[in-house]
Each structure stands twice: as C-alpha cells, then as structure tokens.
Structure 1
Amino acid sequence: MSDAYIAIEGERVVEARARSPGTTRGELVFTTAYTGYEESLTDPSYREQVLTFSYPLIGNYGVREERFESDSVQPSAVVAREMTDDVAEWLREEGVPGVDHLDTREIVTEIRDEGAMKCGVAAGPDVTEEDALEQLRQCKHMSEHRDIGKQVSVDEAEVHNPEGEGERVALVDCGAKGSITDSLVERDAVVHRLPYDATVDDVAAVDPDLLFISNGPGDPENFEQAGEVVEEYVGDLPLAGICLGQQVVANALGGSTEKMEFGHRGVNQPVRDLRTDRVVMTTQNHGYTVADPGEQLDVTQVNVNDDTPEGLENDDLGIITRQYHPEANPGPNDSLDFFDDVLELADGES
C-alpha cells in the first residue's frame, strides 16, 4: 500500500513511497541534471516548485554542506525514482516532503507534453489521495506568488570581502545562489548583497562600480523594485544580470518576458554566441524567458534547442546579462569568464 501521493493538474493522482513526510504544493518541474543534487536542492530559484529529478538515483555521493547554494532546501517537495537514505534524512531534517519509487520518466514526459503544472503532494503513514488533491486545489500559479522575493532574499544588507581591493558590486538579491557571490569575491570584488526590494537610495549608499541583478524564482514582473533600480542607474553604472536578472533588466528597458512551456532546468543546455558561433554548455534553471529584448538590448547568445535569448548586451550602456548560470554550480565551466567580463566593465567605469 502506498504512503505518498502526487496530485497533478487535471486531478490525476500518482502513487509513491514517502521518504520524508508532509503535505505541500507547488509547480511541478523537472531537471535533467545527473549530478549536483545538493546545489539544485538549495537553489532559491526552485522556491514554490516541486522538483522532479529525471536521473534515476539521487544521493549516491552523500550530502555535504559546503556544496549548498543557500542555507536551506528550497523546493516545496522532492520527487525521485530512487532517493538514498542520506538525502531522505536531509529532507526530513529540513521538513521538506520527499517521495520516490515511482516512474519519473512518465512525469517528465507529461511535463514536456503538457507544460509545468500545479500539483499537490502528501507523504506519510496517515495521508490519503484526498490530502494531495486538496493541496492541488490550493496551489497557485507562479505569477501569483507576488511576495516570492521576500522568501529567498537577505533580510538586510550584507558585505562580502569588505577588505577587497577590487570593484564594489551592488548585488540585488532576488534569490541569489551563493556561488555568484563567491565568483565575484574570488576576483577580489567587494560585494554588497542587498535585499530584493532595495531602493535607489539603498544602492546609492553603497557607491558601487557595478549593479548586478541576481537569479531568483517566479515571475520577473513581480520584482518591480529591482526593475526601478535598473531604470534609475542604466547608463550611469555598468549593469549585469543572471537568469531572473536578465529578465528584470529586459522588462525595465522596454522589453517583455513570458512563461515558458516547461522551462530549462539542467546542466547540459547548449548556448551559441551569435558573434563567434562558439557553442558552450551551460547550467540553467528558469521557467520564464525574454520574449522581446526591446530596442536598447541586443541578443548576443541564443539557446541552440529553441532560439530563446541567452545573452543580452549594450556596449554603449555597459550592460551584460546571461539567462544561464555562468557560476556553474553544478555544471560545466565553459562560461566562467562572464564574471571577468562584467568586472572589467566596472573597472573601466571606476
């Protein structure tokens, strides 16, 4: 007899085995990553989502805190074909429901056919199918999570590498992965990590050489304050963005964004540079994309699979953004030079 259930939009219920108990809900998505489960599970961009791993075994090299991208597990729940005891114990400690012993291939195929869907999860000895269905009925669309930035951002400003002699970076934290800060600090930048709703005055108080908008979860249109900061400083400061950051920049400068059918989540997404024809493999985790970059931004990189914009730039305004994760935790290191490029922009302006 099953002790876990996933109720998927349309009220189809999938039976599973409970590895970490609880009831919850979220957008059902999948990642094709076959390593880096610790980084994925602590990536704030997975907030309010139920993360399904397409790779069949999750947890085969344990759980080590030094690989975490934030201080907690971020998805609402975790789904795997087989989950090791190490991962199950970690999820129980975090209070995050986890289930396995189900056909994740079927779920991934359904998401690819139908798009990311709302779902409800119920796991534990006393749960029923109705518990999962009730969670599904309460589930919101991602665009309805208007306060999602508050869930994943720092509460107050932090300074990383205060004695550094490099550029001063104002990092607007919309759900930033820790390795973004690490990548900047490794290059001796002084990183001021500001809350997602930082004001123009908050940024001015830092006196930065570079404005950087981070990755994060949900709909970029719900990060209005970050967009206002971009509007204020564009042309006055070099500007960089990763993932959600690219979308926020595009929206702020007259472009538009849209929800993707099932998004890009994995560590093997091919990206082509339109200027050099070079193709790099990238790590990605996003469900929204830039539909129209507007008149001020040029598309410089595209996804090989679907031609969605992966890089936006404006040399005159000093703007470089990437839809993928150049910090590559987990994933290939093909694009680490992004951080050198943006700090070189800042150095030229300081």
Structure 2
Amino acid sequence: MAGAYVALEGGRVVEARCRAPGTGRGELVFTTAYTGYEESLTDPSYEEQVLTFSYPLIGNYGVREERFESDRVHPTAVVARELTDDVAEWLDEEDVPAVDHLDTRDLVGGIREEGAMKCGIAAGPDATPEDALAELEACPGMSDHENIGAQVSVAEPEVHNADADGADVALVDCGAKGSIVESLVDRDATVHVLPHDATPADIEEVDPDLLFVSNGPGDPANFEATQALVETYAGDVPLAGICLGQQIIARALGGTTEKMDFGHRGVNQPVRDLETNRVVMTTQNHGYTVADTGELDVTQVNVNDDTAEGLESDELDVITRQYHPEANPGPHDTLDFFDDVLDMTGPRRRLVSAD
C-alpha cells in the first residue's frame, strides 16, 4: 500500500497510508459526526478545507448518491483513522486525495489546542514528506479565498417547484446544501436559486416573498455582493439565512464577524432558545461567527461557548440561524425554522424598486 504524508502548520509531518492518491492543501478542520459522511463530503461549506473525521471508521454503510448535498466532493483532501474501500474508491474517482492509518485523536487534539491550521497532503507511491511540505508552503488562509463563492455557487439561475402555490423564495446560493432547497420545496415554495453575486435586477425579476441567504464556505467578508443585496432589501422583503447566511445578514445590518479557533463542526452542538429556555441538538459546520449583531437581537446561543446561534428582528422581518435546521446529517429538532421563515411572507409582498 502506498504511503502518504500530512504536513501541519508549524512544520510537523505525520506519516499515513494512501487511500486515494494526489496532493492537496487547505485549512485542516475536524467533524465529530459519526454518520453522514456522504453529506459532509458533499457539503459546499468544506470548500478549500482538509476534512478530518474524528469517528474512527468512515464508510461502514457504503456510498449512496441520493444522500449527496451537491454534485461533487468539496474538501481538498480527507483524513480518517480508517476509510472503507467504498469511500476510498469514491474519493479516488473524485480526484480527492485521502489518507488513513494515522492517529486522528492526536490531530483533533492539536486543532482544539492550536486552532484550525494550514496543512499539506501528499499521497501515492512516489509521495515524500517534502511534497507535503511544499503543499503546506503554498497553502493560503481562508480569508485569502476572495472569490470562493464562485467555486460553489450556481453560474445561472435555477428554479425548483415552479408550479407551486406557496411563497416565491429567492435563495442566494453561496454554497447551498441541496437539503435546504428540499426543505423549502416540501413546504410548497417555489425556490429561485440565484448566483452568489446576484444583482438587484436579478432579485426584482423574481419579485420574491422571501430573500434567503444560504450557507457556504470561507470568510463572510468576501461575499460583498451578497451583503449589498441584503443592505438593499432589508426592511422591504423578509430575510432569512443559515450559517454563512446569518453572518452575511448580520454584517449587512451593522454587525461584525470573527474567525473562531476551531469552529463548530458536527451533529451534537447544543443550542438554547433564550425565550423558552429549551435546548436542542443541532448540526453545524462553520469557522466564523457573529461577534456584534448590529440591528439584530440574539434569540439563541450555543450552550458550550455562548456564541450567537439565532438572530431576529421583528421590525425588519429577519430570522437567521447559525446552525443547519435541515441537518443532513443530524437531528431534526429544528426543522420548524422553515415554517417560521415562510410564515413571514404572509400576504404577498411587492418589492420596492432598488432605484
């Protein structure tokens, strides 16, 4: 079996086994999810990252395309304690390097202590530690991916459930998971999926009842066009957002964001609602968080670190969540979020011209 090497920021090189050959680089992050590896690997929010699975065996129930969240694998490389042949062959077909037979507990512990870090990977019969170190040397930071939205967004508008009788939703695609679209379609909405850099003219052509900003990868500060849309229509059309969408909406309404040490990635993040005091388990995948909420009120917080998990404004008709209510993988404790945001559409609203 061919060898592999993982070069970590700081200079340490870890030896591993090659499961899918190639070289890769990115921000090394980990997920604590023990199921849902197909959904995680096809989640656009992992773009430009090297995904480490903390659960020791990945692939024990095969690979099924109907579980995919997008049309490709997004991490630049994959690390696990052990990958089954099914997953290894899938990653090989996707040209995504993958390695296993290394101590992922040590890697995860290092990320928790030192924060998410750059890394380089080289895997294959001719791989050397120097190859991995060269990848590490060339690795940019997440904030350096200024046009990451273009890598994960639709290039042209798409329409789902066109003949529905429910609300018209303009979903700005910053890296949307497919299950977000499905959750809206299941509630009889027509979903107009628009590119991340959609213009006011694109929005007005749809004339939506709801403007929805999706999840996605990277630094929210790099989604300037999406933020400008929110600034344009806030107060004129109801707004909703998930994950990156919450961060972009908060920035547009006077808030700020910051990078977390190692983020929240997994399916067991506890969130407390400040009004009901109810705690729910949530699925999360993000490395940035809202630091200052601007015009929005905090309605939910993370039990572990008190970061903002839910933001709202009755005056502006805004509801956002930092976690993924649609889960996939994960618990379905918070699916009612989609009912709440569609309730904001109420009687059909007409957009005020952006002029």
Smaller-chain TM-score bracket? over 0.9
Counterpart of 1:347 in 2: which secondary structure?
A: coil
User: Is the 2:309–2:321 Cα contact (8 Å) retained in structure 1?
Assistant: yes
User: Is the 2:7–2:133 Cα contact (8 Å) retained in structure 1?
Assistant: yes
245 and 284 in structure 1: CA distance in 2 versus 1, 3 angstrom threshold:
same
Alignment of 1:281-292 (within 5 A): 281-292=281-292
TM-score normalized by the length of structure 2:
0.97
Aligned residue for 1:186? Answer: 186
- Write the distance in 1 (CA, Å) between the matches of 2:339 and 2:235: 20
Q: CA deviation at 1:200?
A: 1.1
Report Cα offsets for 1:70-127 as digits up to 9, x if no partner: 0000000000000000000000000000000000000000000000000000000001
Segments of 5+ residues of structure 2 without an aligned counterpart are 350-355
Aligned residue for 2:352? Answer: none
Aligned residue for 1:213? Answer: 213
Alignment of 1:18-97 (within 5 A): 18-97=18-97
Counterpart of 1:73 in 2: which secondary structure?
A: coil
User: Is the 1:2–1:15 Cα contact (8 Å) retained in structure 2?
Assistant: no
Q: Which amino acid aligns with 2:260?
A: M
Q: CA deviation at 1:2?
A: 6.5
Q: How many residues align?
A: 349
Counterpart of 1:107 in 2: which secondary structure?
A: helix
Are positions 1:17 and 2:27 aligned together?
no
Aligned residue for 1:120? Answer: 120
User: Is the 2:5–2:14 Cα contact (8 Å) retained in structure 1?
Assistant: yes
Q: CA deviation at 1:347?
A: 2.4
Q: CA deviation at 1:24?
A: 0.9
Counterpart of 1:133 in 2: which secondary structure?
A: helix
Are positions 1:332 and 2:327 aligned together?
no
> Where do 4+ consecutive residues of structure 1 move more than 3 Å?
none
Aligned residue for 1:297? Answer: 296
- Write the distance in 2 (CA, Å) between the matches of 1:142 and 1:348: 41
Counterpart of 1:346 in 2: which secondary structure?
A: coil
- Write the distance in 2 (CA, Å) between the matches of 1:257 and 1:31: 22
Aligned residue for 1:147? Answer: 147
Report Cα offsets for 1:1-57 as digits up to 9, x if no partner: 961000000111000000000001000000000000000000000000000000000
User: Is the 1:2–1:16 Cα contact (8 Å) retained in structure 2?
Assistant: no
User: Is the 1:171–1:211 Cα contact (8 Å) retained in structure 2?
Assistant: yes
Q: Which amino acid aligns with 1:160?
A: H
User: Is the 1:171–1:193 Cα contact (8 Å) retained in structure 2?
Assistant: yes
Aligned residue for 2:305? Answer: 306
Counterpart of 1:249 in 2: which secondary structure?
A: helix
User: Is the 2:245–2:320 Cα contact (8 Å) retained in structure 1?
Assistant: yes
- Write the distance in 2 (CA, Å) between the matches of 1:54 and 1:197: 35
Q: Which amino acid aligns with 1:150?
A: A
Report Cα offsets for 1:132-182 as digits up to 9, x if no partner: 000000000000000100000001000000011100000000000000000
Q: Which amino acid aligns with 1:200?
A: P
Counterpart of 2:346 in 1: which secondary structure?
A: helix
- Write the distance in 2 (CA, Å) between the matches of 1:249 and 1:349: 22
User: Is the 1:50–1:77 Cα contact (8 Å) retained in structure 2?
Assistant: yes
- Write the distance in 1 (CA, Å) between the matches of 2:282 and 2:85: 30
Aligned residue for 2:133? Answer: 133
- Write the distance in 2 (CA, Å) between the matches of 1:113 and 1:202: 45
User: Is the 2:239–2:319 Cα contact (8 Å) retained in structure 1?
Assistant: yes
User: Is the 2:174–2:215 Cα contact (8 Å) retained in structure 1?
Assistant: yes
Aligned residue for 2:345? Answer: 346
User: Is the 2:2–2:123 Cα contact (8 Å) retained in structure 1?
Assistant: no
Q: CA deviation at 1:316?
A: 1.2
User: Is the 2:2–2:124 Cα contact (8 Å) retained in structure 1?
Assistant: no
Counterpart of 1:225 in 2: which secondary structure?
A: helix
User: Is the 1:175–1:217 Cα contact (8 Å) retained in structure 2?
Assistant: yes
- Write the distance in 2 (CA, Å) between the matches of 1:263 and 1:201: 35
Aligned residue for 1:5? Answer: 5
Q: Which amino acid aligns with 1:89?
A: E
User: Is the 1:173–1:213 Cα contact (8 Å) retained in structure 2?
Assistant: yes
Aligned residue for 2:201? Answer: 201
TM-score normalized by the length of structure 1:
0.99
Aligned residue for 1:240? Answer: 240
User: Is the 1:238–1:349 Cα contact (8 Å) retained in structure 2?
Assistant: no
- Write the distance in 1 (CA, Å) between the matches of 2:74 and 2:318: 30
Q: CA deviation at 1:348?
A: 4.2
- Write the distance in 1 (CA, Å) between the matches of 2:291 and 2:121: 32
Aligned residue for 1:223? Answer: 223
Segments of 5+ residues of structure 1 without an aligned counterpart are none
- Write the distance in 2 (CA, Å) between the matches of 1:57 and 1:263: 22
Aligned residue for 1:106? Answer: 106
Aligned residue for 1:265? Answer: 265
- Write the distance in 2 (CA, Å) between the matches of 1:179 and 1:145: 25
User: Is the 2:238–2:318 Cα contact (8 Å) retained in structure 1?
Assistant: yes
- Write the distance in 1 (CA, Å) between the matches of 2:208 and 2:347: 13
Q: CA deviation at 1:326?
A: 0.2
- Write the distance in 1 (CA, Å) between the matches of 2:255 and 2:46: 25
Q: Which amino acid aligns with 2:128?
A: T
User: Is the 1:176–1:216 Cα contact (8 Å) retained in structure 2?
Assistant: yes
Aligned residue for 2:169? Answer: 169
Report Cα offsets for 1:220-278 as digits up to 9, x if no partner: 00000000000000000000000000000000111000000000000000000001100
- Write the distance in 1 (CA, Å) between the matches of 2:110 and 2:125: 27
